[in-house]
Amino acid sequence: DVGEALDPALEPVLQKAVFKQGGRSLIRLGDSDVDYDPNFKLFITTKVANPHYLPEVCIKVTIINFTVTMKGLEDQLLGEVVRQERPDLEEQRDRLVVSISADKKQLQELEDKILKLLKESQGNILDDEQLINTLNHSKLTSSVIAASGRRGPQPHHQRGTSGKHRAAG
């Protein structure tokens, strides 16, 4: 059980600062080198309700919040009821979630490409034809994605407004 600050001695483990020496994988803990197994996993838990870790920690670890809220529990239960009574609606929602995820991934890839082109650009960026084309393509793609989001099905809202499935209060 840890608080919001992690022991600095964990730093080599969090950074996976592994090095080879004599054909062995080692990691330095304190003042000694210890054999490192590539299958090693470290799980750290906290009893802090809503911990706020520094960004330097967040980029080195995967944080999973197992806190159960009434809203989250309600959404899960509602999803199960809909899955039983209206599997078509739940399937439509699942497709929508996958589609939104793919759209976000595509936008992130375009953003990364633009940043890379900007970084590598020499001279006047307005003369960089590839960059201009990528920006235009990005604008078009984001417009198409935004429009499909507005026009697309809204199964999450449909399932949430069904009076016979919503708890009163």
- Classify the C-alpha dihedral 153-154-159-162 as positive or negative: negative
Kindly state whether residue 155 falls inside one of the protein's structural domains: no
Residue 24 domain flag: yes
Q: Are residues 52 and 95 in the same domain?
A: no
Quick one: average pLDDT of 111-140? 88
If you average pLDDT over residues 78-94, what whole number do you get?
84
Q: Determine, yes or no, domain membership for 79.
A: no
pTM of structure: 0.45
Cα–Cα distance measured from residue 112 to residue 118, given in angstroms and rounded to the nearest whole number: 10
Assess whether 51 and 96 both reside in one domain: no
Distance CA 164, CA 169 (A): 13
Count of domains for the chain: 2
- Place 163 in a pLDDT band, splitting at 50, 70 and 90: very low
- Full residue range of the structural domain in which residue 101 is found: 87-150
